[in-house]
Structure 1
Amino acid sequence: MAQVDLNKYRPYIIVGFIVLFALLTLWTRGIPSEGLVTAEGVNLLGNDPWYSLRQVEQTVANFPSYAWFDTMTLYPSGDTIHWGPLFAQIIAALCVLAGASTRPEIMVVASWVPPLMAVAMVPVVYLLAKKIADWKTGLIAAGLIAVIGSNYAYRSLFGFVDHHIAETLFSTIFVLAYVVALLATRDISLSRKDLETLKIPVITAALAGIAYLLGLFNMPTMILFALIVAAFTLVQFLLDFFQDRSSDYLVLVNAVVFGVAIIGMAAFGFPHSGFSLIFYTVGHVIAYAALIAGTLALYALSVFLKGRPKYYFPAAVAAVAVLAVAVLFIALPDIYDLLISNLFSFFGERPTTTTVEEARAWSFAAAWATFHWGLVLAAGGAAALLWQNRERVNPAHVFVLIWTGIILASTAAHVRYEYYLAANIALLAAVFAGAVIDTTWKDVARLLGKGSGGKASSSPGTVEKQEEPARKGKKGGKGPEVRKAKVPPKDHPDYLKVGAFAAVVIVTLLFAGTSLQGNLALATSAKYGGIDSQWMEALEWMGENTPDPGVDYYAIYDRNTFTYPEESYGVMSWWDYGHWITFISKRIPNNNPFQHGVSGPNGSSTYFVSTSEEAANRILDNIGTRYVVTDIQLDTGKFHAPATWADPDVGVERFQPYFLVPVSAGSTNYQAVPFYNQDYYLTMVSRLHNFDGSMTDPSSQVIYVEYREEGAANTSLPVITRTEQMNATAGAAAVEAYNRNAPAGSGATLLNMYYQYQGDSILHPLERVPALQHYRLVHETPRNVYSNVGDDGPDLKAVKIFEYVPGATIRGEGIIEVPVVTNTGREFTYRQESVNGTFVVPYATSGWSGEVKATGPYRNAGTGQTFDVTEEDILQGRTIN
């Protein structure tokens, strides 16, 4: 029977598999399109994609110009954009080519770009793995990157229109180009007079520089790869020195790569001032120049110390490094901060970081949940590369290992870098699988050949071997004789190797299959993602029913000359929702998901946890706010975030203290349990969302608690020693009586049970909550968050919009009331107790055309006197009587 020569068709087979993996990638990433595409466009995933679409719309309208300053966010200053134009311009160019001009059309085109970039990753990873090992490894890596999960999969889904997948793609292209440059230049010498030999090395290094610029023009985070190159350069110089090998190639590659980067950056310009590396500043040029200078310094040291004891070189490097850092710290503190301080801060973590999901530290449990068996395979791949370099070091392998180590450290510090790490995991897992298959294939072939009665086939790796010269080092015939002695007889396979082959194939398939299954589940669930319907309803209402801020949504403004028009205003909400407000409502949020406008005396965190309306009003006055938007999540599950941003040292425990309580009655085991205290009910977010700004009396039943302080009890938290449920008046009296004569280290207080998303304890304060005088509800969404408790339960809506108004003044004593009906038909009574003989009321009883209406006049509950208040009275801050 004629045998087919597969080597002849290998290129076609490889292309076929790459196309297959690319189509698999496109299919899995495109699944969310079934549910996210609507008549209005695409219900994008997450928060940041909505801002990316805002940028795309702006770029399409002004193509190819890009806005480095945005007036439609962070009122009243506007916000500086710190990432590059490449991602938005790629999408805008595709929209122009496709003739997509309406918002729905632009959204659909843009939503397909991340899946297409994930498709592009397949051949890029194949080529990288092929350069590192061989074509078999390349195909395995291409298959794994097609199915690998994590943030990488999520951020390349249809509808997740953000530059993260572009970061991964362009940085991996740079790694590929840098590896190609290393392999092309590793045997050159700078002392050669024949410049023709430098032609290919210079071209490949220049292409690597261009690849770096592509990544940089997408995101300044590309500077991380300059750090990777710097670390690799230091390690490789040490390895070359100890192996008596010239490092000329490193000087050439780094000088050309970052020389191109400097030229490109200078041509690109510096839209930002200062030296920061997270912006496009001259700091990048300084950093790249420092990298080139450092490479030259290492080269000079290696030449000077050539022939001397090996330990001289690392000792000299350490001494020069310490001296350089000291000089920078003393003489050039700005450069020190640029190059050294930023490095430490990048890998550090602040308390507020825990409130940002993608910036949190990575745990082993999260790592295993994401990459599972891929971690084992990748560790094996790293070990395989180390083993292959035990005699003669391949700089490309060293670079891949250092690249992986730094990306792994970055991910450990900030989980968002999982989408970078996916390429490393796929590559190293493939390296290990390919190495094992290559080593064991002959024995597997013998087993298969023996079982079939035919002749065993040759190894699929016999045609192509990487680094063959590295395996030649034995003199005479001893090498072949030793290898021959270790190889089993020709007709009998080594069953240990056969077992290793089977184990690696099974684990690799398990990794790929589990990842694919997870991706399919992720993509399927994403069909139902996007903005919550209640938020969409609220923001669409805001865009149609609030005054235009007077700023052209599509225009590009110059930061130095722009001023907001008199009629402009800001919208206060939590930072999560800032981009939604910009894109859907075309209104200007006071803060945004870049965490700008969140901290500080005028930050949203300070505002929402303020227990003083007077202090909260000053914040809104300072930043020009007219509307405040709250939701049930900020009120409950996300409440810890503003509390932590407002006071990182204390955090949420100021409002939701933890106590140790027995696990069960009579138990000596304790558990930490959170409770609500009165301060929580006095926060602005609680008074607005839970009580509609109305005065609210305490619950009929509260929990009276006696406790031992942590110091007295020798525990990490206070320990509750006694609880009793009683009415609020009796509870307040009991607390006062106990604390008057409390034993040392003991105390009493009133608490309510803590519920994150269920239970109505958030509606029942422990003491009276005073009314807000300058806030009126103007819209609420239909859904009742307590809809599962029946018609007789509380009615609290998911999202509420309040208008901040001057309010009208009414003179009088006691309590004043006005009945209100909302746009959903919910009825409540706004109540307020007089302060210094006056009431300041926010609702108009006439002349108001809004959806939330007062259905009668204000009435003094004590005197029965009634008052009519017009809309003009409210807006002008008039005194009625």
Structure 2
Amino acid sequence: MSSETADARALQADDVVAYAERYGHLALVGVLMVFMLWVRLKNLGSFRGRDRLAFTGIDSWYHWRATDWTVQNFPWVMPYEVYTGFPDGNNVDQFNTLFDQFVALLAMLIGLGSPTQSDIYLAALIAGPILATLTAIPVYLIAKRVSGDNRFAGLVAVIILALSPGEFTRRSLAGNFDHHVAEALLMAVAIYALVVALRSAERDKPIWELVTSRDWSLLRTPTKYSVLAGVAITLYLWVWPAGIVLIGILGIFFAVQLALDFVRGVSPDHVAFVGVVSMAVTALFSLLKTDVYSLTEVTQYSLIQPALAVLVALGCLFMAWLARQWETRELERVYYPAAILGLVAAGLVVLWIALPDLYNTVMTNVTTRLLPIRSTDTALTVQEVQPPDDIVRRAARSFGMGLYLFILGLVLLIARPFVGDRFRAEHTLVIVWGLFLLGMAASQSRFWYYFVLPVSILSGYTIAQVVGLIDLNPSDRVRDVKGYQVLTILLVLTVLFVPFAPGIASYTAPDIADAVQPGGESDTWAEGNEFLQENTPEPGNLYGAGNESELDYYGTYERPADGDYDYPGGAYGVMSWWDYGHFITSQGERIPHANPFQQHARSASAFLQAPSEDAANEVLDAISAGMEPRLDASGNVTVDAPEDVDNDVPYVMIDHKMAGEKFPAIARWTGPNRAIYGTQKDINLGVQNESQTLPAFSDAYYDTQLARLYLDDASGMEHYRLVHEADEWALVGGQVTQTRPLPFSNAILNADSWGPMVENTSMLYERERKNGNLTRTNFYEPHVESSLKTFERVEGATMTGQVENATNASSIRVSLELETAPGRTFTYTQNAELGDDGSFEVTVPYATDNVRGPDEGYTDSSVTANGNYSVVVQGDDGIHQASANVSEGAVYDGESIAVDGFEFTSYDDLFETNPGDESDENVTDGNATDGEGDTESGSDNESDATSERISGPDVRVPPQ
């Protein structure tokens, strides 16, 4: 081999190494980004191959509404929403943001300017994965900058980001159509822009004299980057108005850094310049979006965003001025930070006195979002607002060793000045930002999608510092590599990859993607909301008002000056729990009263807990009158609604979870102590024929409006009727899990804490052999019901008449057999007292015909009568019985129906009808029934039903 050939090969090898050193890290980052996108699109096919839309989060449905509206009105966003929060409407600035405009633009590109619903749906599914993948870029750049332009640190940061199976991954999968991933991306962009601006200011050293002399040659670069930082912060706020939390974090950073600079003998003007310019730009652009002139509305584009940015800018200016005054007077620099702390405390006192509302807003956000100090009782009913049970354990599942690398990275950054390393302002920024995001993660589970950012960045920084200690370069020959260097690299690879390995990790990022599939609550509600859309009047046309054109679903509505929209006649609301408001808006195109903004949650809670039909009517009347009713500790409505108000909330939707696992949350918002709804009962589960004391629902629960509607199909009520139920069935009741080692021995019973469990009927007595055990789930006091029922409030038709010669009769009973669209039959019953002369009045909500429809302003009910009403009066000597036809018009208009033609049957004739049958179910202790097996004793029907239900299981078997 010639020396020229050897030299050429050596040169080629050197070129390969040089190329790998220069571009290899970028290729690896690209591979990781492709992996991130693949993970997030793994389940895309399961969402697209369906007959109807599907998303995995409730808030996703309102983003769908906002994006769909923006596509129809491109490029504008909705100025005010009238299709939620009836009777007020809502300013929904936390949606209708830059995120929705981005998805609408993506849909326009997919649809080449005329997107179909399928195009918009595809854009909604892929937007989150795209934005999450792009987040790798600022994360890489921040880690690289903070580590002294170390590309390996950036690469490690992206590895942690890509492999993490936590909230950031879960919230950015196809199907989770929410703004959270856009928040994370733009927060990372904002932090990177500030890092660049701070580095520029450190290099070019802008000071006040350069500003007054207008020496733009030295100010141009730091000004440019500071403006870009302000723009980046603004874009973050334009995705999430409540992101003023970032302004607060930056305000603390600037205060800390300016104090540190002055104590160290460095002019604070440099960092103050970045703070003033970036915050001024943020304030200016935030002001352009302001549409609510209030200092307390943090979730809307209000004055609080520009006001806080201005305060931070003024604070930077003041601290720089004070530092000069301090220096002029030759005061000890070490006391400067204490003076700043004292001034901040004094400022808070002044704010508390002068602007108490603003002070409360600021402190509430600090204590509930920035720091794990407190959360309101009602806020804790929201799952994502609850703090994590074990932050260390959750971090291990989400980041592997990331939490420990994050903590070590913080320590290493703080220690830099003490070991002779250069300490930059960007280090303080990452320390302050990371600590506050740790506090946010400890306060609310949702903020873990933010926390992955500093964890990834500081993990990269820590690993880079460790690898830097071994002085290993890619150009080193294999034979020159030392043993300790090999061990260090193996340790690094173990720390990075092993915690995320399948079989070791609880779950991996691909596992999360596989687990997220369409269906669930949105599918449960889809059928009921389709019924609303097709079988109820258009908003504005209730009872034939004819104002539907004034409430176009894609219309533009001006924000009302007083905050409450003035709906036209014929507009109406739908009552349900706030969790489901976005389903009603987006799937049903109807107007919910309560929604996931937690608007009207208390009045919805009051209706669902109402202990009587009269109390429930008072709540709805108060809502129709524009009031916010609640229940007091005794269950009484706290407001007096005016008389003769319109029935503006005619529909009520209740699903199995409201009747079951969500009821404790419903009871938390208003009314009596929720403990009254639970009790303890001795129940025999058939295990060794022994009774167990188990938690169960009390009488108070079965008296609530929710239970009487959902479990009783409005039986015994005067003004509510079932109009639709979904063809899907659920089980509501108590649950006990029995675990018996194999072979079988004594069972161990573990009763859940109070609160019913809701499962599909297929879960009844589920058996699973696992780890040598057999697990069986027993349900007690079960109720098999449709998963979603829709009711209508009507005026009710009043049956009137007189029964002569009814000896010692005190009550009358009416009943009607009905059938739902899925094929289930049930009997509506109503009891009323007889007058001394045998006269009666009975108000009933069900019609025996179904002739009115949505075009006329009424409901095309899917529940039909099997015949006419049976009207029965029982006396000492026999039964008086008649039948009655009740038209739908009479039910809606409150008409009276005369009932006559009673036929008398003596008990002797009844016995002759059933000769020799001494156990005739129509005769019990001298009291007769209507033939349905219910004992007629003259007592209230609801009480009878409740007692019967409590004493034993009430299983309603759905049609086969």
TM-score by length of 1: 0.81
Q: Which amino acid aligns with 1:380?
A: L
- How far is 1:49 from its partner? 0.8
Q: Which amino acid aligns with 1:144?
A: I
Out of 146, 155, 161, the position equivalent to 1:139 is: 155
Contact 2:678–2:696 (Cα < 8 Å) also in 1: yes
**In the alignment, which residue of structure 2 is the partner of 1:612?**
612
**In the alignment, which residue of structure 2 is the partner of 1:63?**
74
Bigger mean CA deviation after superposition, 194-203 or 297-306: 297-306
- How far is 1:865 from its partner? 2.4
CA distance in 1, matches of 2:712, 2:451: 46
- How far is 1:203 from its partner? 0.7
CA distance in 2, matches of 1:169, 1:226: 16
- How far is 1:162 from its partner? 1.4
**In the alignment, which residue of structure 2 is the partner of 1:702?**
none
Bigger mean CA deviation after superposition, 285-294 or 234-243: 234-243
1:183 aligns with 2:172: no
Q: Which amino acid aligns with 1:141?
A: A
1:234 aligns with 2:251: no
**In the alignment, which residue of structure 2 is the partner of 1:114?**
128
Out of 439, 448, 456, the position equivalent to 1:418 is: 448
Contact 2:86–2:592 (Cα < 8 Å) also in 1: yes
1:128 aligns with 2:118: no
**In the alignment, which residue of structure 2 is the partner of 1:352?**
378
**In the alignment, which residue of structure 1 is the partner of 2:416?**
388
CA distance in 1, matches of 2:464, 2:295: 48
**In the alignment, which residue of structure 1 is the partner of 2:722?**
777
Contact 2:294–2:304 (Cα < 8 Å) also in 1: no
Contact 2:848–2:885 (Cα < 8 Å) also in 1: yes
Contact 2:711–2:783 (Cα < 8 Å) also in 1: no
CA distance in 2, matches of 1:500, 1:17: 21
**In the alignment, which residue of structure 1 is the partner of 2:911?**
none
Bigger mean CA deviation after superposition, 350-359 or 169-178: 350-359
**In the alignment, which residue of structure 2 is the partner of 1:507?**
495
Contact 1:433–1:508 (Cα < 8 Å) also in 2: no
**In the alignment, which residue of structure 1 is the partner of 2:882?**
865
1:439 aligns with 2:473: no
Where do residues 439-588 of structure 1 align in structure 2 (5 Å cutoff)?
A: 439-442=469-472, 454-456=479-481, 495=484, 499=487, 501-513=489-501, 517-529=507-519, 531-549=521-539, 550=548, 551-560=551-560, 563-588=566-591
**In the alignment, which residue of structure 1 is the partner of 2:177?**
161
Bigger mean CA deviation after superposition, 325-334 or 72-81: 325-334
**In the alignment, which residue of structure 2 is the partner of 1:278?**
299
Contact 1:42–1:108 (Cα < 8 Å) also in 2: no
**In the alignment, which residue of structure 2 is the partner of 1:298?**
319
CA distance in 1, matches of 2:44, 2:136: 21
**In the alignment, which residue of structure 1 is the partner of 2:797?**
808
CA distance in 2, matches of 1:415, 1:245: 40
**In the alignment, which residue of structure 2 is the partner of 1:54?**
65
CA distance in 2, matches of 1:835, 1:500: 88
CA distance in 1, matches of 2:368, 2:500: 36
Deviation track 1:436-486 (CA, whole Å, cap 9, x = no partner) reads 12213549999xx7xx6x233xxxxxxxxxxxxxxxxxxxxxxxxxxxxxx
Contact 1:120–1:169 (Cα < 8 Å) also in 2: yes
1:103 aligns with 2:112: no
Aligned CA distance change for structure 1 residues 816 and 389 (closer, same or farther; 3 Å): farther
- How far is 1:682 from its partner? 0.8
Deviation track 1:729-769 (CA, whole Å, cap 9, x = no partner) reads xxxxxxxxxxxxxxxxxxxxxxxxxxxxxxxxxxxxxxxxx
- How far is 1:394 from its partner? 1.7
CA distance in 1, matches of 2:782, 2:667: 29
- How far is 1:389 from its partner? 3.8
Contact 1:820–1:853 (Cα < 8 Å) also in 2: yes
Deviation track 1:204-252 (CA, whole Å, cap 9, x = no partner) reads 1110001011111111122111111111112212322332222111210
Contact 2:166–2:449 (Cα < 8 Å) also in 1: yes
Aligned CA distance change for structure 1 residues 356 and 224 (closer, same or farther; 3 Å): same
Deviation track 1:598-642 (CA, whole Å, cap 9, x = no partner) reads 11xxx1111111112111112223332111111111111111111
Where do residues 762-773 of structure 1 align in structure 2 (5 Å cutoff)?
A: 771-773=716-718
- How far is 1:318 from its partner? 2.5
Match of 1:645, SS state, is: coil
Out of 871, 892, 906, the position equivalent to 1:875 is: 892
Where do residues 709-720 of structure 1 align in structure 2 (5 Å cutoff)?
A: none
Contact 1:36–1:529 (Cα < 8 Å) also in 2: no
Q: Which amino acid aligns with 1:4?
A: D
- How far is 1:858 from its partner? 1.6
Where do residues 188-227 of structure 1 align in structure 2 (5 Å cutoff)?
A: 188-190=205-207, 193=210, 194-227=215-248
Bigger mean CA deviation after superposition, 543-552 or 372-381: 372-381
- How far is 1:529 from its partner? 4.1
**In the alignment, which residue of structure 2 is the partner of 1:315?**
338
- How far is 1:143 from its partner? 2.1
CA distance in 1, matches of 2:128, 2:473: 43
CA distance in 2, matches of 1:637, 1:229: 41
Q: Which amino acid aligns with 2:796?
A: G
CA-based RMSD: 2.9
Deviation track 1:694-715 (CA, whole Å, cap 9, x = no partner) reads 1xxxxxxxxxxxxxxxxxxxxx
Bigger mean CA deviation after superposition, 262-271 or 11-20: 262-271
Out of 329, 347, 360, the position equivalent to 2:352 is: 329
Bigger mean CA deviation after superposition, 308-317 or 541-550: 308-317
Contact 2:368–2:443 (Cα < 8 Å) also in 1: no
**In the alignment, which residue of structure 2 is the partner of 1:841?**
844
Q: Which amino acid aligns with 1:455?
A: D
CA distance in 2, matches of 1:516, 1:147: 13
Contact 1:129–1:137 (Cα < 8 Å) also in 2: yes
- How far is 1:684 from its partner? 1.4
Out of 382, 397, 400, the position equivalent to 1:369 is: 397
CA distance in 1, matches of 2:364, 2:527: 45
Q: Which amino acid aligns with 1:805?
A: V
Deviation track 1:360-414 (CA, whole Å, cap 9, x = no partner) reads 1123244443334221222222222223343442211111011011111112111
- How far is 1:646 from its partner? 2.1
Where do residues 675-694 of structure 1 align in structure 2 (5 Å cutoff)?
A: 675-694=696-715
Match of 1:430, SS state, is: helix
Aligned CA distance change for structure 1 residues 243 and 37 (closer, same or farther; 3 Å): same
Match of 1:838, SS state, is: strand
CA distance in 2, matches of 1:10, 1:501: 17
Bigger mean CA deviation after superposition, 61-70 or 166-175: 61-70
The alignment-based identity, stated in percent, is: 29
Match of 2:267, SS state, is: coil
**In the alignment, which residue of structure 1 is the partner of 2:925?**
none
Contact 1:34–1:527 (Cα < 8 Å) also in 2: no
Aligned CA distance change for structure 1 residues 376 and 343 (closer, same or farther; 3 Å): closer
Where do residues 260-275 of structure 1 align in structure 2 (5 Å cutoff)?
A: 260-275=281-296
Bigger mean CA deviation after superposition, 5-14 or 336-345: 336-345
**In the alignment, which residue of structure 2 is the partner of 1:73?**
84
Contact 2:206–2:273 (Cα < 8 Å) also in 1: no
Contact 1:31–1:527 (Cα < 8 Å) also in 2: no
Bigger mean CA deviation after superposition, 188-197 or 803-812: 188-197
Contact 1:71–1:78 (Cα < 8 Å) also in 2: yes
Q: Which amino acid aligns with 1:361?
A: P
**In the alignment, which residue of structure 1 is the partner of 2:103?**
91
CA distance in 2, matches of 1:794, 1:637: 14
Match of 2:605, SS state, is: helix
Out of 36, 44, 68, the position equivalent to 1:33 is: 44
Deviation track 1:141-166 (CA, whole Å, cap 9, x = no partner) reads 12221222222112111121111111
Out of 56, 60, 74, the position equivalent to 1:45 is: 56
Residue correspondences, number: 752
Aligned CA distance change for structure 1 residues 354 and 660 (closer, same or farther; 3 Å): farther
